[in-house]
Amino acid sequence: MARRLMLGLAACLAAALGLQVRAQDSTPPAPTPGGVAPEIRAQLTPRQYTTLSSEMAGRIDRITTRVGETFQKGDVLIEFDCALQRAQVAHAHAVQVQADRTYTIDQRLVALKSMGQLELDVAAAEVQKAKADVAAADAVASKCAIAAPFAGVTVDQKAREFQYTTPGQPLLDILDNHNLEVELIAPSHWLSWLKPGYQFHVRIEETDKTYPAKITRLGGRVDPVSQSIKVIGVITENAPDLTAGMSGRATLVPPS
């Protein structure tokens, strides 16, 4: 009886040990050092983009670009009806001519002792005032046309021709579609090896292609809540098929 009891206890102990071994075998594998994931989301963003706004109150005469059309730096994109401003410029120039001629005549009269120095000084001041009025009129007239600050493409048109605008009103959204950046959100513990110049690859979903890239700069601060940091890179090869807003996955392999 005692012998059968001992054998039963031994069998139970063996079964318990077997279960413990199987439980240990089913434990998930240990994560890679630092928990580094091989891929993270990436998005292409333009290096230069802006909203062109009206600097004056007036009626739009012409918009030379449409959504999707490209342009070069310095191209006139929007023109306003500026008949009044041009008339003000012409008036200011005429007043300046008058002041210049009066000053020239007064100089001769002073040389002939027919006029005092005070009158000549007043004429000189009138010349300076006329020049200032010309500069002010030219500054106002320069706002009658909006030129492209960089080469790019029009992405949104917020106003129409013959529409009356007010100062500060948005008119066009434009961006530089030639110089794109790759934006990533990386874990902050990657900073031990993720530095400017680090090379990686990014696969863009819209083109289904993989492009070489490198890190150019890191964000200015770490987000303490998500413990992440913004990382900015650039595509290192000519890729005319890429457009701002495309996204994909970047493959970043830490150094061994």
User: What pLDDT, on the 0 to 100 scale, is given for residue 38?
Assistant: 63
User: What pLDDT, on the 0 to 100 scale, is given for residue 215?
Assistant: 95
107-154 pLDDT per residue, tens:
999 888 888 888 889 999 999 999 999 999 999 999 999 999 999 999
Q: Which domains does the chain have, with CATH numbers?
A: 33-47+179-251 (2.40.30.170), 49-76+149-175 (2.40.50.100), 83-142 (1.10.287)
User: What pLDDT, on the 0 to 100 scale, is given for residue 203?
Assistant: 94
Q: Long-range contacts: 144-147, Cβ < 8 Å, 24+?
A: 144/56, 144/58, 144/79, 144/80, 144/82, 144/85, 144/86, 145/76, 145/78, 145/79, 145/80, 146/52, 146/54, 146/55, 146/76, 146/77, 146/78, 146/79, 146/171, 146/172, 147/74, 147/75, 147/76, 147/77
Q: Which residues of the chain have pLDDT under 70?
A: 1-38
pTM confidence score: 0.70
User: What pLDDT, on the 0 to 100 scale, is given for residue 156?
Assistant: 96
